[in-house]
Amino acid sequence: MNTLKLQKINKHYGKKKHALCDFSFEFTNGIYGLLGPNGAGKSTLMNIITDNLLPDKDGGKLLWNGEETKVLKEKFRSRLGFMQQQNLYESMTAHTNAKI
């Protein structure tokens, strides 16, 4: 089983905005959803996971099957797939929205 382990991920924007504070989680094979209000750090987290954004220097570690993702680079990124859905349409069911 594949595992993506996030260990104490930190990301600041400026001096006051702390988007992620010691965030740790372990993802195993499956489908996950990130839910939260605007500014909760969802997009920041996804951008760090996909290597589009770096965590703070003391920002923790991302480990794919025990190896750091920053070392694995494309070998790790080729395993990722994600979708960001901004809007849901009231007239459509959840099943129909998933097909968009």
Mean pLDDT computed over 6-19: 91
Which pLDDT score, from 0 to 100, does residue 5 have?
A: 97
| Most confident by average pLDDT, 4-8, 56-60, 72-76, 93-97 | 4-8
pLDDT in tens, 28-87: 998 888 888 988 999 999 999 988 899 998 889 999 999 999 898 888 888 887 777 666
How many domains does the structure of the chain reveal? Answer: 1
Helices (H), the chain: 42-49, 69-72, 74-77, 94-98
- Domain that residue 56 falls in: 3-98
CATH number reported for the structural domain that contains residue 43 in this entry:
3.40.50.300
Q: What is the pLDDT at residue 99? A: 65
* Residue range 12-41: mean pLDDT, rounded: 90
